[in-house]
Copies of this chain bind each other. A is one copy, B any other.
Amino acid sequence: MGITRQTKQVKTLLNIFDNNEKAISVVDLIKLLEAQMNKTTVYRILDKLMDDGVVHSFVGKGGLKWYAKCQDCSCETHNDVHPHFQCKTCGEVECLSVSFTLPPINGYMVESASLFIVGVCSNCL
């Protein structure tokens, strides 16, 4: 079940994702919002925003959780199957708007796949 009440904290988080193309880690979110809300609240709101198809999450380089705004998702359909890229230089993480084809693996049923790419972004090159 997703969000039912538009609390001050929910609005704050929605605002962050609306004005931010890049992905952001939970750790950074908690640090950024420590004056405004509890870390438990951050985790809980993120969970609900996931349910609502507002954001999607993925596991980054060090095993940390990252979140980014969904493009064309809703409660019912999560279409955000795209690679994620982390820049070694500036540290920023972004969703790549490209589709990728999985290698052929006979006899396996594929349910989901995540591709994480590390390198140097166009700004830092």
The count of residues in chain A whose C-beta lies closer than 8 Å to any C-beta of chain B is: 36
Q: Does A40 contact B (CB under 8 A)?
A: no
A89's nearest neighbour on chain B, judged by CB, is: B109
Q: List 26 A-B contacts (CB under 8 A).
A: A59-B59, A59-B62, A83-B103, A83-B113, A85-B105, A98-B103, A98-B104, A99-B103, A102-B115, A102-B117, A105-B117, A106-B122, A107-B122, A107-B125, A108-B117, A108-B120, A108-B122, A108-B125, A109-B120, A109-B125, A110-B117, A110-B119, A111-B120, A113-B116, A113-B117, A113-B118
Sample of 20 more A-B contacts, CB < 8 Å, known A85-B108, A98-B105, A116-B116: A59-B62, A59-B63, A63-B64, A63-B65, A83-B103, A96-B103, A98-B103, A98-B104, A99-B103, A100-B102, A100-B103, A101-B103, A102-B117, A106-B122, A108-B117, A108-B122, A111-B120, A112-B117, A114-B116, A115-B115
